[in-house]
Structure formats: structure tokens, C-alpha cells
Structure 1
């Protein structure tokens, strides 16, 4: 008699899009939390687009960056647009079919019980594949890494959504997702952001000046936005403070900033891609940043007031609206605005205290752990369902076969 394979420990595949991105950071955060909660779990992290279409992955990234630079209104049109979604359905189906073939090889090799996707495209690829094949296995989880949900996330073959807040939960429900499949945990971030740290010791470790405010300037992993003009404007302010700049993987920007600000009025530390952003946020009074979901979720947990500049049309403009509505951020239209906000905040620390208090309410330091618990709960439910089928088969007798969806 054939019997279903009984896994003693969960096998979980994490799919993200682009290493060192917010999608990657969220996948790592949940994966690490899973391993803390279930030390014997077998996990695998995979850049889904790079694995399935390495050439197209590079071309797409370049086209995306060029579009944001020269025609951001096109991306604005494409984002969460029902008409665009309908018109591009055939193209998306072709891309998803091509991607699913290579992912099927990964599924056959690793044999995951659960696949966790932190980006909508890979989630759609797996969901569409399950639908075409009439399968219910593996279980599929979508982890949202922005404060809003666009329509491309919704699919009947996604077993669980990890949502950042109740408003996003409501949006998913409006797209037809059953309430039982949406769990609100917050956006998953690294455990280190919730850990208490000695600020005085960190300032000394980083080589910054003790007793002075620190202004953190970030442009995401790609170092996007008017960072050069922002730093130039900040250096004109008369108040004493340090500036810490994270240029990400933008080596050209880092080199230019290093040349220009060797003899500025303020001590200016220029960093490339930083692994210690949690430390930089800990010592800072304000962060000037693009409103990526992961960066802003980290800032909320660190109770760090935000000055938002140059949001990407679509997800980042939606994130900005969410953050502004909760009083944890202000939006600057340009570098001069940034300078004026910093000047105001340094002269009026009460405003910063109010923003910190609002961030404390909004931040979710346990988001990764809560998301991991939901993933493991889903795994346990699926295992129990398989065991129930096996028990009924044993009672009836005869061979057991994996069941396709009805």
C-alpha cells in the first residue's frame, strides 16, 4: 500500500526578488524567525526572477530604473491598474508559464511543504501553476512588504497572506480573498531592530561626535533620490550635528559624495551598502529617506521620525500617504524642504517627540516572529489534513494517491 510521505520537520522555500532588496530582507527575517521557532526546519532562500530568467531579470531592472528616471508617470499608470492588469493578462501568463518550468525543478528537488513569497510576481507564478495543475500542494504564502496591497496579489490558490495592517487586510478582502486567509502581523524586519542598544557606545564605535544630533540620509539599496543636493543643503545649516549617508550599492554616488564633503561644515560619514542600518537608526534623531516598506517599518520600530523625499509612484506614494496619515513622517518636495524640516525639528524637539510616540504605536517589532508562527501553523494544518486523508484511506484499504484540487 502506498502512503503519503510524513515529514517530521517542515520544509519551507522562500522566494524573493533581487538580493539586498526589501523583498530579500523580509524573506530573511521570516526565515530566521522560522528557524528560531522550529530549529529542525529545512529552509531555502531563492531569488526567483534571477533563477528563472537571469537575463530578463537584469533587463527588467534597468528598464524599471530608466522608467522611474525619465517617465515615472508610466509606472504610476501600471501600478494597481485594473485596465492595465486586464490588457497584460496574456503577457503575464506567458511569463508565468516560462518561470514556472524552472521553479518546478526546484520544487521537485527541495520538495517544500510551504512556499513563502515576498513579491507578487513569484507568488503569482506559483499560484497560477497550482491552478493549471489542479494542485493544493505546496501551501503558498504571500508576504506583503508595503503598507498597501495591489490587485496583483489576489489569487485563489494563495493559502495565506501576511498583511502589514488592517487596512491592507480590508483591501485584500475587497479583491475576493477569504478573511480566514489574511493574518495581520506587520511588515517582517530583522530581529536586531527590536533589540535594546547602548547609544553612547554606538556613537563611539561609529566614530561620530558624542552629544550631537545625527541626521541619517538614505536612498534605498540603489542609492536613489536627490541625495547630493540634500547633503549640500543640510551642510548649510548652522546648528551642530553629524550627517550619516548610506549610498547603498551606488558606488558612483558614494565616490562623488566622498570627494565633495571632505571639508564640510558638519562631520559627514559616507557609507556604501550598510549591514548595520539598525545601529545607524539607533543613534539618529531623524532619517531622510525614500519610503520603501522595509526601511520605513524598520524606522517605526526604532521610533525614528522620517522626512520622506522622492517616493516612487505607486507603492511608495501609497506608503507615504499611510505614514503621513499616522503622524510619523513629513514629506519634502525637494532638498530645500528637507533643510527646512531639519532646521524646524532641531529648533523644536517637541515635534520629534510627538513623532516618536506615534511611531511607537505604529511599529511592529514582532512582525517576523508572528509571520513565522502563521507559516508554521499553516504547515501544521496541512500536515494534519494529509494525515486525516491517510487515516481514511487505511480504513477503506487500497492505494493512496495525492489528491488534485476539486
Structure 2
């Protein structure tokens, strides 16, 4: 766990922010660091702490989820893709956490109780699911956010209780609202990245393009194939090859580029990657969510190689769609494809402009602003509503097309105007019997919980009311999305 912010809490507000990440790859922790940086810039935050939930878990649990994932990526990528697709539909798993995960979450729950945060930000779906269960049980009374770290939304990130959900692009928000989630709880901010106040793009020496080859934090072997191809490029270039923490690869890379040492610089793990991204003209590597987001913020187009099936392939699809990337599906064409970019007049400049347009360098700040300025009451999604959302997703229809008892209905806080619950119509009908008024407004009350209410409804009522004895809400059925007319 990192130390609290060094800024004097006496000069700041009273928010105590806990950022929960998971060290499966470096992206989730990088996003957590970006949110931490954004918190340090705010005067209303008194304390910030970051906790990697895997580091707080048992070594076996950490190895299975962390190292095990990358073993599958290397040995059985088809299984990774299968698992991604199976878990993609939102709310496919609606029951309690499995006993193993629950046991390994005990240290995190203890840390939350000890720190008593007023704000919890999750940059991985595992802590997001845990925090949702704590919200529903009344264990925590903090504003909670789930911050996704890939360009395509994946269903595992959607939980039954949260204050705000942050997705990387507008299409993700459109997808979720089409499934019935309220738009006032979903924000398309981009993926949080750390920034430097004096970041600027330095011109390449003598106009020669600088290529940045990234092997990733662990140093993937694909980088060797990339560099072999670069050594045959016809176009003038310089290249920096980042080998990460893989010392063996760095040594092999240095031997490989010896005949062209004047064109190549080989480095290991570096801490000034943002500066290097701003100096480079073209990035060659994997489209991880954080890597891609950092490149876009730096106006750096990408040549994509060896994407992990699932999220990285989808990240690549988005970047190609924006005109900020190309993908190499075979190693033998990498050199040719890069040469085509460098030799075609204006193409690299167009790709750089597309990357700049796609970048969201202020994503971390936008996350904290939206969360702290947003509703203090969480959104609760009932289990029945979760089932409907899953059904809508699997049938490929829009939630507003549903009719009858299984259709979705929103409860809106009459005073704040924020959505506090997503329920099915039959659940709302039960509430209306006991809490309806002549004006059509429901007044949910803590001290009136008839025994005739189903246990699930009583649980929802408790979660919605939080510390209040009564809450006036209005009922809104879903409306069809407004069609976008051509100009």
C-alpha cells in the first residue's frame, strides 16, 4: 500500500480516497497511479491511498490470477479469447462471490474498514464487484467508482451497486444505456493516464522519424521479430527499443542490432515513458488499454502487433477505426507496412492528427470531477433487473423495447434528480402498493417495511434509503433512444 498524500490535509478538504487496483499486467495499476495524481491536484482531497488487491491476497490466489493469466496468453490464447467472450455479457454471474475469492477479499475488507474512505475508486473489476457487495450490505458509505481500462466495455465490470461507471469512449456509454443502465451514472471520460506538466513533442533530429518499439513491461519475444524487420527498412529512421524488465531479451536485442547500432537504442525498463512517447513519431507494440491511451494522448500513432485475444484485439479495432493505427497480422509484413507509412506523403501526419483527436489526456481529472460532483447516493440494480439486462444483451435488443412485468423501470431521486435504482416493472408495482401517494410519487420509508414485501425488495429498500428514514422518488419507464437524423 502506498503512503498517504504528502500534501498538508489542513489546507485541503476532507475526502479520503482509496484506490483499489489489481496487478494483472501493469495497466490497472497505471490507471490507479493516474487517479492518484489527479487526487493530489485537488484541494478537496485530504488523503489518498492505493491498494493492489492481489498483493493483499494469498500468494496462491495472486499467482493463479496474475501469473496464470499470462501463461494462458502465451500457451493457449484461444482459451483467453473464449473466457473473454463467455464473461462478456453483463450480469452473467449474479450470485455471491465464490468462497475462494471471498476468503481472499477479507484483508481488503479489513483495510476498507480501517481506512474509512469517503471515496473508493476501482480500476479493476475484482474490487469493483467486492465494493458493490459492501455497498449493498451497508458495510461502506463511500462514493464508489468503477474505471474501465480498455476501449471496449466488458461485462465483468458491471456490478449491482455503484455511484459512477467510467468507460473509455462514447460507444461504451451508448451500449450500456441501450441495455437499460441510466445515462446519469455512466461517463465516457477515456482511460486515466499520468501526465507531466511540461510534456511537449520534440522535433525529430534532422527530420528522421523516431520509431518506438515496446516489448511491454515483461519483454515479449515479438519485439525481436519487429526489430529484425526494421533492419531491412528502406526509409530513414531511428529506433528506441524498450525491453521492459526482461534483461535476457535486452542482451539478445543489443546483439541483434549491433550491425546497425547507429540507428538503434536499446533500453530496459524505464520510468520516463511519457516523455519518450512525446518524442517518438510512431509506436510499434501491443494495444494494451493504458499503452494505447498514453499513445493517443501524446498524438502518437501505433503499429499493432501480437494483441492479446479479447480486449487488446478490440482496442486495436477501435484505434484502426479512428485512423490512428494499423495492425500487422503476420510478422513478415511488419517492415513493409511501416515502410508504407513512412514513404506515403502525409500519411504519418494524418495518423498523428487522428491520434491527437482520439487522446483523452485529462481522463483522470475528469473521473474525479464527475465522481465528487455527482450523486452521493449509489445506483442499485436489483437482481431481477440484472437478469433482464443479461437477457436484453443476449437477445441483441434494446431494453426500451421490452414490455410487461420484466421491463426495466428507473427510480429517480425527486430532490437530486439522479437515478437511485434500476428495477423490473413487477418490483415497482410491489413498492407502489405500499409506498405510493395520490400524486404518483413513491415515498420509500425505512420504518414501514411490511412483512408482505419480498426479502429481496426489503434488501433493496435498505440499500436505496441508506441513512435516510424516507426518500421521495418518481418512477420513469425507459424511453426509446432518440434517432440521430442525418444533417
Which interval holds the TM-score relative to the shorter structure?
Answer: 0.7 to 0.9
Deviation larger for 368-377 or 41-50: 368-377
Match among 133, 140, 144 for residue 140 of structure 1: 144
* Alpha-carbon distance in 2 for matches of 1:188, 1:51: 23
Conservation of the 8 A alpha-carbon contact between 2:233 and 2:336? no
Conservation of the 8 A alpha-carbon contact between 1:67 and 1:75? yes
Partner of 1:392: none
How far the C-alpha of 1:287 sits from its partner, in A, is 0.6
Q: Equivalent residues in 2 for 1:7-406 (5 A)? A: 9-18=14-23, 21-38=26-43, 40-82=45-87, 92-131=97-136, 133-135=137-139, 137-192=141-196, 195-197=198-200, 199=202, 210-264=206-260, 266-378=262-374, 404-406=462-464
Query: Which structure is larger by alpha-carbon Rg, 1 or 2?
Result: 2
Q: Deviations over 1:9-32 (max 9, x none)?
A: 100100111287111111111111
Could you tell me the TM-score, scaled by structure 1's length? 0.84
Aligned residue pairs total 373
Structure 2: which 5+ residue stretches go unaligned?
Answer: 1-11, 379-412, 417-460, 465-487
Partner of 1:391: none
Conservation of the 8 A alpha-carbon contact between 2:210 and 2:279? yes
Tell me: CA distance 1:255–1:39, structure 2 relative to 1, closer, same or farther (3 Å): farther
Conservation of the 8 A alpha-carbon contact between 2:151 and 2:314? yes
* Alpha-carbon distance in 1 for matches of 2:45, 2:177: 34
Q: CA RMSD in A?
A: 2.8
Q: Which has the higher helix share?
A: 1
Conservation of the 8 A alpha-carbon contact between 2:151 and 2:169? yes
Deviation larger for 115-124 or 354-363: 354-363
Tell me: CA distance 1:173–1:32, structure 2 relative to 1, closer, same or farther (3 Å): same
How far the C-alpha of 1:99 sits from its partner, in A, is 3.1
Conservation of the 8 A alpha-carbon contact between 1:243 and 1:266? no
How far the C-alpha of 1:336 sits from its partner, in A, is 2.3
Conservation of the 8 A alpha-carbon contact between 1:235 and 1:265? no
The one of the two structures with greater contact order (alpha-carbon pairs below 8 A, sep at least 6) is 1
* Alpha-carbon distance in 2 for matches of 1:274, 1:19: 19
Deviation larger for 54-63 or 283-292: 54-63
Tell me: CA distance 1:56–1:367, structure 2 relative to 1, closer, same or farther (3 Å): same
* Alpha-carbon distance in 2 for matches of 1:34, 1:380: 18
Q: Deviations over 1:262-282 (max 9, x none)?
A: 332652111111211122222
Conservation of the 8 A alpha-carbon contact between 1:328 and 1:355? yes
Tell me: CA distance 1:19–1:318, structure 2 relative to 1, closer, same or farther (3 Å): closer
SS in 1 for 2:159: coil
* Alpha-carbon distance in 2 for matches of 1:10, 1:80: 38
How far the C-alpha of 1:239 sits from its partner, in A, is 2.9
* Alpha-carbon distance in 1 for matches of 2:89, 2:358: 33
Tell me: CA distance 1:318–1:349, structure 2 relative to 1, closer, same or farther (3 Å): same
Q: Deviations over 1:176-219 (max 9, x none)?
A: 43222111211111122x7442615xx7xxxxx65421111113
Could you tell me the TM-score, scaled by structure 2's length? 0.71
Structure 1: which 5+ residue stretches go unaligned?
Answer: 1-6, 204-208, 389-402
Q: Deviations over 1:147-177 (max 9, x none)?
A: 0111111112121111111111123334543
Tell me: CA distance 1:90–1:404, structure 2 relative to 1, closer, same or farther (3 Å): closer
